[in-house]
Amino acid sequence: MNQYVTGTVIKELREKNKMTQLQLADRLGVSDKTVSKWETGKGYPDITLLEPIAGAFKISVTELISGNTIKNANVSANMLRSKFYVCPVCGNVIHSMGEAAIQCHGILLSPLEAETSDEQHMIFTERIEDEYYVRIDHEMTKSHFISFMAAVSSDNIQMLKLYPEGNAEARFKIRGVKKIFFYCNRDGLFSQDIVKGIDDKESEYYYSDERKGLEETAKKLFG
């Protein structure tokens, strides 16, 4: 975690804003040598300069200190672009509709990058009446377990916390669900799209190969 603005962040932001050291220095009323010192870690800008520096880069002081630029494109975010943040110390799960500077236990958390489910993290979905029954084929021991599952539609999220010794399964209301996310405490975040013609059937497939075949057929049928 950054406790204060770092030289690397200043350099990155300056280059992103296509400014030279001299241009930034002029704006702040310091010499380009001073800016160079900050960027090479030979000194820190005085606290009274934080606001002018943030202003020069058109960001907030919080963003400047956290080193995380919050993109304003999130204003009307679609839930399908949800970001999940997990604290490695306490397992706290934070859901955000877009990127944010989030800290837990003094750690600046990065948004998790979801991978497609693999052989060790197989997901099985079937429809039971108006719900999806979702099961992850994975151990649920104290040291290795699925810690949450979430079903996301464009305007809604259903999230379920799971615990070791429990079952890695959930039931979600169907209402427009397009994506299932789940998190393994060791292997990270996974996601799988709900595929029309497979997951809305009242039956389960048994092997990942079978699902692959079904996905191809569904693609041909439904595009």
Residue (13 or 184) nearer to Fe ion, CB:
184
Residue (18 or 186) nearer to Fe ion, CB:
186
Q: Which of residues 175-214 bind Fe ion (CB under 5 A)?
A: 184, 186-187
12 sits near Fe ion (criterion: CB under 5 A): no
Residue (180 or 184) nearer to Fe ion, CB:
184
- The nearest distance, CB 91 to Fe ion, in angstroms, is 14
Q: What are phi and psi of 115, to 5 degrees?
A: -100, 160
Residues 47-66 as x/- pattern, contact with Fe ion by CB under 5 A: --------------------
Binding residues for Fe ion, total number by CB under 5 A: 3
Residue (63 or 137) nearer to Fe ion, CB:
137
Residues 127-166 as x/- pattern, contact with Fe ion by CB under 5 A: ----------------------------------------
Chain residues binding Fe ion by CB under 5 A are 184, 186-187
